[in-house]
Structure 1
């Protein structure tokens, strides 16, 4: 403390893209000791308790000279080999007199803003609380988003072409917490019973949760093109299915599966911020089974955006409905299916930065 004039502590944060300077968006500081107020510095060791409150929002701009807008503070994001990072730091500064160098001690801290998923329908909440089966879309229309029916075609055993109509339902609202399942129902209809028996099984389903990292000036644009070279897409979880018991008797020409996707506890929540945003969506692809060749196996049948939060709704504890013996399948390689080469996320960037 010899020669010290003041001691201050601060929390700073910034976004850093490969090849670019850091974009600072937060600086919250507090003086712990000031010689002008407290006189001479204490001798020997000294300690000061402190507390810093971070704001829920901050001002940031997409470009250096653009107008700053208000955004929620994003979480720490420091994944290895990522083209962009968000880093929060705790900084202690010992200020000294004129012509003397200040002493600065810095350490990274891990920050996650808390947000709650929207509450599910009353019937789904009641099922969770009672440990009862989920009521499907027919009995709980407000608890599910039923997507428009779609069809996929293919060749069966190289002998005939077949068409299957499919209707998917996702638990509504499309807002889920990390560490919780996303409930699903999928209904198949076809005149060909053999095709239904072959395709409408747990092992043939291709249904996944994708994460999109949007980097650059388009990061805050709603509906920004996923084909951009600065958009990185990865599978964060695959669904597992089992025969549905909802609705009782199976009808001729119809099959229904119930399923889930686990939202891993380690996932970072959805956020939108200049230079870097994180979004999630669900996609289903044509079924895959021995003897069946889909006409367009790499084209998604649908894509639906979901929002990932850090906390469940107050008073709601989602549960898994997978029957005993059903385990989550290992995540397959959806990179080519999604239209991205397997090496597409291993690009290197020129020092000019992102445009």
Structure 2
């Protein structure tokens, strides 16, 4: 049985709570003009969900208001929200109503078993009206605990941005010592697990009557940001100049790993190349932006460098790994029966660098001349990538991975699938201030199609995960 988790639309970048603030010139005389900021209201969209009698007569409705920029098919919220709207009753004749309760909840769902298992991430409930409330017992219009006419209760409920779990908790949101950022809504066609968020309006009608219930699925995006760029990288982005190489901007790069690539050239000529892959620091990147890369290659064999140190030969990709653990009866057993999906999502593009460290140098100790070739690179991130998530029983992780070189006439000494693997984080919003710039020249694109594995198509379109 497939799990009926909803698909929802591609979401834009940034924080929907941040107002658009165009500068306005202050024209008061005798003062130097200065830039003032007038917050602009966020455009909102209303979604309405109804219960109707026959002939289309509405009995009750749940109205939810959310940022329009983030919400197309369903209401979508970022960070703490809040979730706003109203609960409405339209009763043309007196009717017994015991309670009107609104609940907001988040769940991890899995259908690996006959009865779908779940972990409740959080539940927030608010009683809109109750027959035992002070209003019901003192207002004469609520005669015999029956309601008649039109009623409306506005609501505003904040979403907990972080939730806690204890290692020994069982089947629910048990307070504990481990705190986790609330994960983003997640659903993908082949995965038998996902993260689901709902608003549920429950109208209790008393004994011998069926209660009314209105469910509303909503999208949720955690608000996560990277740290600001180091000083030299910030200046380069602001001035539109090339990024400085790792020998100059030491704080702006992280060495993923140094590897020795050994193999045979043209089936007869043994070669060895020292390869260093650098990843831009800090190691957290906003989806829709870029991951800058830098490769430095040393060898005494100039011919080998000419073949391997090219934009077409170097293969570096962004790998996504999703791990979800079952059964979910106890969070302390999350290592049991894990499901896993691991795939390369996008390949880096490379182009020649003008770095001063390129060229030839003589190693007097070894008595040979060493050659150096460097390349600039970028991984262009999709705007709909799922952000990194470290959550009990459901994790989304990313790595920058260097794969074996793709060069005709070269055969590696060892058949390795991964030469370098370095963890990175994908976040949902930008750090304050300067943003990354794409430097890849036109025409430098990867021509290799990515091989889809594990039987799941790569779907990063508007109806896929975000």
TM-score of Structure 1 vs Structure 2, range by shorter chain: 0.7 to 0.9
Q: For 2:446 and 2:204, how far apart are their aligned partners in 1?
A: 55
Counterpart selection for 1:127 from 187, 212, 236: 236
CA apart distance, 1:325: 2.4
Q: How does 1:1-355 map to 2 (within 5 A)?
A: 1=91, 2-17=95-110, 18-19=112-113, 20-35=116-131, 36-39=133-136, 40=142, 43-61=148-166, 65=170, 68=176, 69-216=178-325, 230-247=339-356, 250-251=359-360, 253-329=371-447, 331-333=449-451, 342-343=453-454
Q: CA deviation at 1:65?
A: 4.0
Once residues 199 and 449 of structure 2 are traced to their aligned partners in structure 1, the CA distance between those partners, rounded to angstroms, is 37
Secondary structure of the residue aligned to 1:313 is coil
What is the total number of aligned residue pairs between the two structures? Answer: 334
Q: 1:151 to 1:96 in 2, by over 3 A?
A: same
User: d(CA) in 2 for partners of 1:203 and 1:51?
Assistant: 54
User: Any gaps of 5 or more consecutive residues in structure 1?
Assistant: 336-341, 347-355
- Hey, what's the Cα distance between the residues in 2 that align with 1:218 and 1:96? 36
Measured in 1, the distance between the counterparts of 2:168 and 2:341 equals 21
Structure 1 CA distance for aligned equivalents of residues 251 and 413 of structure 2: 34
Distance between the aligned counterparts of 1:293 and 1:266, measured in 2?
37
**Structure exhibiting the larger radius of gyration computed from Cα positions:** 2
Quick check: 1:237–1:331 contact (8 Å CA) kept in 2? no
Residue 321 of structure 1, CA deviation: 0.7
Alignment partners' CA distance in 2, 1:344 and 1:80: 11
Preserved CA contact (<8 Å) 2:228 2:433? no
State the TM-score, normalizing by the size of structure 2.
0.66
How big is each residue's C-alpha offset from its partner over 1:301-327, in whole Å with a ceiling of 9 and x where there is no partner?
A: 211111111111101211101013223
Q: What is the rounded CA distance, in whole Å, between the counterparts of 2:448 and 2:124 in structure 1?
A: 43
Judge conservation of contact 1:218–1:275 (CA < 8 Å) in 2: no
**How far did 1:159 drift?**
2.1
TM, length-normalised to structure 1: 0.86
* d(CA) in 1 for partners of 2:253, 2:413: 29
What is the root-mean-square deviation of aligned Cα atoms in Å? 2.7
* Stretches of structure 2 lacking an aligned partner (at least 5 in a row): 1-90, 137-141, 361-369, 458-466
Q: Is the 8 A contact 2:197 2:220 kept in 1?
A: yes
Give the number of the structure with larger relative contact order, counting CA–CA contacts within 8 Å between residues 6 or more apart.
1
SS in 2 for 1:111: strand
Shift of 1:89: 0.7
Structure 1 residues 250, 44: CA separation in 2 closer, same or farther (over 3 Å shift)? farther
1:349 maps to: none
Q: Distance in 1 between matches of 2:182 and 2:240?
A: 37
